[in-house]
Amino acid sequence: MGAKFTPTDPTKVDNNFLSANHIAAALGEFEPQRTNNFTLIIPFPTQGSDGPGSPSADDSIRKSLRSFPFPTEENAVVSIPYQNTTRKVAGIVDYGTYGLVVTDYFDSIVLQRLFNWRRKIWSPTEADVEDGNLADRPTNMSIGGAVGLARNYKTTGTVILHGPDGNVNSQRAWNIHGMWPSSLSLGEGDYSTNEDNRVSVTFIVDYISAINVRGSLVS
């Protein structure tokens, strides 16, 4: 039999339970995480002297970033029927998709690098998949259709949450493994607006691992 349930004694409840004095108090805790205090590092996968899939030092995504979701994970639920009831257990885990939005700076390399990355995944010609050479693309886009190898287009990114003071002791970080862009949207022209153009990318990921939570390594 399970443990006996004992109701909470209402006379022992903190009389200040309606107060918010514990939040961001002087010499206290509960400092809120700001949604705009984070850094995203996504190395571009490269091919060349460093070998297939090796990261590039280019940080144009970090410098152009507008938004990126924090990590999520979810297990599918397996229902097991028996007689007049069901029992539920955990099934396959999924980490969802991740939408990246960057500002399109026309004098920056970020858009070109993202486009080259897509050419490692699919390209009208085999030459584009092998070396990302956009100059080799034929006028007839129906030629080719080669799909690249995962080892050449997947990378591992890192998202770092930090406090407004930038203190490294309050950082929390996750590695996002097996990232690759399944779609790339170059934005939209509109004569009726006077806004910056935004490039959107949808990333597929394999799994996520936490690497630092309040200074402690976790799995």
Residue-wise pLDDT for 150-193, tens only, equals 999 999 999 999 888 888 777 889 999 999 999 999 999 999 99
* Segments forming the whole domain that contains residue 110: 41-76+88-213
Look-up of token digits 């257990």 = 89
In-domain check, residue 107: yes
Rounded to two decimals, the pTM is 0.77
**Cβ pair 151, 52 in contact under 8 A:** yes
* CATH number of the domain within which 199 lies: 2.30.110
- CA triple 53-127-146, angle to 5 deg: 80
Q: Which residues of the chain have a pLDDT value below 70?
A: 1-15, 46-58, 125-144, 212-219
Domain count across the chain: 1
66 within domain boundaries:
yes
What does the alpha-carbon distance between residue 217 and residue 219 come to, in Å, rounded to a whole number? 7
Please report whether residue 25 resides in a domain.
no
Q: What is the pLDDT of residues 37-46, one digit of tens each?
A: 999 999 988 6
Distance of CA 51 to the CA centre of its chain: 24
